[in-house]
Amino acid sequence: MKNCFLKINQLISTRHFVRTVAYVLTVILVFSTVFYSLDASTPYASARTTQKQIDKLREEKKEFERQRNEIQTKINAIEFERKTELAKKGVLDDRIMLTGLEIDNIIAIIDQYAILISEQQYEVAIAQAKEDAQFQKYKDRVRDMEENGVISYLELIFDSTSFADMLARLDFIGDIMRADEKLYDGLVEARNETIAVKEALEQTKLEMEDEKASLELKEAELLEELEEANAFIFALEQDLETERDLRAQVAEEEDRVQKEINAKVEELKKQEEQSRLARGTGELMWPVNGRVTSGFGWRQHPVFGGRRFHNGIDIAASHGSNVVAADSGTVITSAYSGGYGNYIVISHGNGITTLYAHLSSRKVSAGTSVAKGQLIGLIGSTGVSTGPHLHFEVSVNGSRINPLTKL
């Protein structure tokens, strides 16, 4: 019996154990399923969220790229506009130079007309003198006929003593008639010549007046073009960014030009000992009559402030005024640039050079020898300039110095 109870207890214990284990396993399975479900669903949700974020970021990227392209397009347009505007200033300068050449041509024509008028006036005086002399002869002949009576040709014929005498008298009468006719024809010819040269003179005067009227129109056109160019540069300088671009370009060109000057000066130094290159006295004269409006050194921008170094001096003068060589020397540059406009550089020997910028026209070419005080150009406002003036620089051994210390 006792053994029987022991077996029953063991069986109950075993069943209980089995149930307990089953219960525990069931709980573990449930929790495992839950955790498995949680673990399985969470990565899927995260993946969907991450993809949305990526898609969103990609959309933002596309928007940024679109905006960047739009901004770049604007930048390109602005840069193109600036380059176009700077190129336009060059075109304006070319047009101003062309108008200046046309004015020079008209002035030369007027000068030729003046010479022609002077010559024709002399011809008129000579023709008038011939006419007056011929008219005096004719008057003398008429007066003689009045004082001595009119000769009767019939009387001369009837007073003849023979047929031979009559023929002789007829020849004499013919000579008188021919002389009178020649005298009259000479008077008419002299009168016609006087009329012709006077008419030619009046026609020449009219043609010269037409040229003067054309000159006035061209001068008015030139003034309009100058105002347009000056207003154009002034408008560009009102834009800070454009003004900075302009100043940067000018600075770059100044550096480039100075390097070219230095290189050419070195070349000339090698030739000076073996050639007859024109050399200066070392004492400079004023290249143009005018007052200094901007000195050498640092200066403030009149609109935006800020300082930049001015490598020369500005001398104000009226448009078209003569610019002369400050000293004897050799022209090493005669060219055009966007910043300097028309400019000329002269080497005077001993490492001294002078630069003349913003000219309306250049009268000498590279390689030309010039004398001190010789005309080399005319005042203008080409390049980056808001009014007619001369930008004048002096360099010694490649370094710019204050021109006023040499003038």
233 and 268 belong to one structural domain = no
Q: What is the pLDDT of residues 154-192, one digit of tens each?
A: 565 666 677 676 667 666 666 666 777 787 788 888 889
CA–CA separation, 309 vs 254, rounded Å?
11
Residues 215 and 82 in one domain: yes
Q: Which pLDDT value is given to residue 333? A: 94
The CATH number covering residue 294 comes to: 2.70.70.10
CATH number at 207 reads 1.10.287.1490
Q: Are both 106 and 160 inside the same structural domain?
A: yes
Distance CA 187, CA 133 (A): 9
Q: Quick check: 72 pLDDT over 80?
A: no
Q: Token digits for 51?
A: 């993809």
Tell me the whole-structure pTM to 2 decimals. 0.56
11 token code pair: 């069986």
Q: Are residues 233 and 255 in the same domain?
A: no
Whole-angstrom distance, CA of residue 331 vs CA of residue 345? 6
380 DSSP assignment: B
Nearest to 301 by CA among 359, 254, 240, 226: 240
From residue 365, how far is each of 94, 336, 360 by CA, in Å?
Answer: 18, 12, 15
Residues 291 and 401 reside in one and the same domain:
yes
Would you say residue 49 lies in a domain? no
256 and 232 within one domain: no
Mean pLDDT of 84-104: 77
Where a domain ends, among 178, 212, 237?
A: 237
383: left (phi over 0), alpha (psi -120 to 50) or beta: left
Are residues 398 and 261 both part of a single domain?
A: yes
DSSP 8-state secondary structure symbol assigned to residue 387: S
Q: Do residues 212 and 298 share a domain?
A: no
Is residue 359 in a domain? yes
Which residues form the domain of 87?
A: 78-237
Beta-carbon contacts of residue 350 (< 8 Å; ≥ 6 apart): 279, 280, 282
Q: Is residue 170 in a domain?
A: yes
pLDDT band at 36 (very low <50, low <70, confident <90, very high): very low
Of residues 261 and 336, the one with the higher pLDDT is 336
Same domain flag for 228 and 304: no
Q: Is the pLDDT of residue 5 over 50?
A: no
> Is 36 among the domain residues?
no
Q: How many domains does the chain have?
A: 2
- State percent of the chain over pLDDT 70: 63
pLDDT tens per residue, range 132-150: 888 888 777 777 766 665 5
Residue 71, classed as helix, strand or coil, is helix
Last residue of a domain, one of 211, 237, 263: 237
257 plus 205 within the same structural domain = no
Compute the distance between CA of residue 404 and CA of residue 407 in angstroms, rounded to an integer: 5
Residue 28 lies inside a defined structural domain of this protein: no
Q: What is the rounded CA–CA span in Å between residue 124 and residue 197?
A: 6
Winning range, highest mean pLDDT, from 13-27, 101-115, 167-181: 101-115
The answer as to whether 167 is a domain residue is yes
User: To the nearest whole percent, how much of the chain has pLDDT over 90?
Assistant: 24
- Asked if residue 277 and residue 232 are part of one domain, the reply reads no
The one-letter code for the residue type at 257 is V
